[in-house]
Structure 1
Amino acid sequence: MTARRFRDSARYWRTPLLPGADLLTAEYHEHEFAPHWHEAYTIPVIEDGAECFRYLGAQHVAEAGTVPVINPGELHTGSRAVDEGWRYRVMYVPVDYLRDLASGIADRLQPLPWFGADVIRDPDLARRLSLAHRLLEADADRRRAASGASRIARADASPVTDIDVLAVEGALLDALSTLLTRHGRTREAPLQPQMNDPRVETMKSLLAADLETPLRVADLAQAVSLSPFHATRLFTEASGLPPHAWRTQLRLQRALAPLRAGASIADVAAASGFTDQSHFTRHFRRMFGVPPGRWQSA
């Protein structure tokens, strides 16, 4: 019997029960995520199929029932690992939220939580995360319906109709605290000395200062007293991306706040330094799996 092939379908949404977070319910077959990072913790649970991704210098495969956590700011990719593709649920949890939760668990201030590069194979944790995500989604649907918005029918929609918000929050705290207590650690020192090279930080600051201003490699090289070749090589080895690609990722991250606030896509594209809206949309889709209009409508 041939397994069902997943389609490329993604739904981003948000909830006041997890402030500042984006949540994703998706399945993918053809889509491949270009190298990118998120400013939040990426906490997925694979529900079917399998995903492969490159992360921290190695190739990984996450099959159904696993939790491939990505730390904030870390470069990674994503594509199908099996013929049918993969289906998953993801929480993009803000750094402050998870750090505050870790401090609450320990009853004292904690450093930034960090997670190892290996895919987490903990079926009980996967079940807790999936349950919390489904309850959050069902509650978000209920809120939209109550506010008069049209309810979107989905084949995988949670059957929950009578939702207790205390139960939803309880499931969320249970899932994330289980992740922290079983698998959280503090950040390890970088393996490569150039990752802390102040010249790399100088170049990043120059790239980030004004995203609309065109820059040349010579500008970066002059700022750190290196040749263009050596400046580019140092930056790429430290960040995992050449300067132009790193700046594109930063532009996409900076675009999220105005999109959330309701700014037009054309205005956001221009303010973020993209040549036009189609250029912005193409890069946005490669990173988030949906065009910016669909992401914004969440």
Structure 2
Amino acid sequence: MSGLRLAQLGDLPGFEVASATLGGHSFERHSHDEFVISANLRGEESVWLDGRTFDAGPGSFTAYNPGQIQGGGVAEGQPWQFVSLYIAPEQLATMLGLQRLEFERPTERLPALACAMADGVERVLGDDLFVRQRGEECLTLLLADIAHAMGARLPREMAESGGRIAQLQEWLAADLARQPSLDEMAKYLGLSRFHLLRSFQKQVGLSPRQWSMQLRTRRAQALLRGGLQATEVAHALGFADQSHLNRHFRAAYAVAPGSFQRAVR
């Protein structure tokens, strides 16, 4: 199957992802206003960039700064699959806690990172809200590794006090049905999205989304024990519907909410 799938991430324009399967395709020379970061999953891409040529096979990243003239593709009849991120310059700098940045190297072979990026993109192109949010978190964290591999200099990691992370946990726990976006959480703490995720994961061992979801399923247990019906529990805790609650409850406790309720009453 060939084609191109696109999605926007975050609350504001300026961060898009794409997954493409384009057998035997080539792009005319062109440029972008955004940073373009691509991971080649299948096919031998021949790249033209600002007068230089190079090859990027499976597992290779290509990273283009805004305004760079690029072109290329794969030979006729050759399968080609890749995933890409398109990020506005100010967005990428802010997400990584920088004033500005520029990629020094246009390509690097990083197969493990390419697989991780492909997995993150696939998640954000799915239908489940929680899975999409987790994909957004994963891609945001990967950006630092990608930028470092491509020669961008990153600031030293900020040492966040336990108090700030605890503050976010209290804010999330106060209204589990609210489910703020990653941008809203970062704004609440006055941190970049990357530093929020890195600090939270380092201290708690989970991402904010994962921590919030485990608390929601734990609260669901208490409500079910109290006799509330599963449909009411799903609504009270901000699940899209009962099937959404069922999926995450079963993943956490290996039993459906209805079966759990019957067993404990």
Is 1:65 aligned to 2:59, yes or no? yes
Q: Unaligned regions of 5+ residues in structure 1, if any? A: 1-6, 144-161, 187-298
1:91, CA displacement in angstroms? 1.0
Per-residue CA deviation, residues 22-65 of structure 1 (Å, 9 max, x unaligned), is: 32211222432111001111111111112112012211211111
1:127, CA displacement in angstroms? 2.3
Give the 3-state SS of the residue equivalent to 1:185 in structure 2.
coil
1:178, CA displacement in angstroms? 1.0
Give the 3-state SS of the residue equivalent to 1:68 in structure 2.
strand
TM-score using structure 1 length: 0.46
Aligned to 1:90: 84
Per-residue CA deviation, residues 46-89 of structure 1 (Å, 9 max, x unaligned), is: 11112112012211211111111111110011221474231111
| Aligned partner letter, 1:116 | R
Give the Cα separation in 2 of the matches to 1:169 and 1:18.
13
Query: For residues 184 and 18 of structure 1, do their structure 2 counterparts lie closer, same or farther at Cα, with a shift above 3 Å needed?
Result: farther
8 Å CA contact 1:34–1:78 kept in 2: the answer is: yes
| Aligned partner letter, 1:134 | E
Give the 3-state SS of the residue equivalent to 2:140 in structure 1.
helix
1:8, CA displacement in angstroms? 4.9
Higher mean alpha-carbon deviation, 13-22 vs 41-50, is at 13-22
Per-residue CA deviation, residues 228-285 of structure 1 (Å, 9 max, x unaligned), is: xxxxxxxxxxxxxxxxxxxxxxxxxxxxxxxxxxxxxxxxxxxxxxxxxxxxxxxxxx
Q: Unaligned regions of 5+ residues in structure 2, if any? A: 154-265
Aligned to 2:6: 12
8 Å CA contact 1:101–1:177 kept in 2: the answer is: no
Aligned to 2:101: 112
Give the Cα separation in 2 of the matches to 1:68 and 1:12.
18
1:10, CA displacement in angstroms? 1.9
Aligned residues: CA RMSD: 2.4
Query: For residues 173 and 81 of structure 1, do their structure 2 counterparts lie closer, same or farther at Cα, with a shift above 3 Å needed?
Result: same
Give the 3-state SS of the residue equivalent to 1:172 in structure 2.
helix
Query: For residues 81 and 69 of structure 1, do their structure 2 counterparts lie closer, same or farther at Cα, with a shift above 3 Å needed?
Result: farther
Is 1:172 aligned to 2:161, yes or no? no
Aligned to 1:130: 118
8 Å CA contact 2:42–2:81 kept in 1: the answer is: yes
Query: For residues 30 and 100 of structure 1, do their structure 2 counterparts lie closer, same or farther at Cα, with a shift above 3 Å needed?
Result: same
| Aligned partner letter, 1:64 | P
Structural mapping, 1:1-298, within 5 Å: 8-16=2-10, 19-81=13-75, 83-102=77-96, 104=97, 109-117=98-106, 119-138=107-126, 141-142=127-128, 163=131, 165=133, 167-185=134-152
Aligned to 1:206: none
Query: For residues 17 and 123 of structure 1, do their structure 2 counterparts lie closer, same or farther at Cα, with a shift above 3 Å needed?
Result: farther
Query: For residues 48 and 17 of structure 1, do their structure 2 counterparts lie closer, same or farther at Cα, with a shift above 3 Å needed?
Result: farther
Give the Cα separation in 2 of the matches to 1:95 and 1:50.
28
Query: For residues 48 and 54 of structure 1, do their structure 2 counterparts lie closer, same or farther at Cα, with a shift above 3 Å needed?
Result: same
Same amino acid, percent of matched pairs = 24
Query: For residues 35 and 27 of structure 1, do their structure 2 counterparts lie closer, same or farther at Cα, with a shift above 3 Å needed?
Result: same
8 Å CA contact 1:28–1:80 kept in 2: the answer is: no
For this pair of structures, how many residues does the alignment match? Answer: 153
8 Å CA contact 1:132–1:175 kept in 2: the answer is: no
Aligned to 1:246: none
Give the Cα separation in 2 of the matches to 1:97 and 1:142.
25
Q: Which has the larger radius of gyration?
A: 2
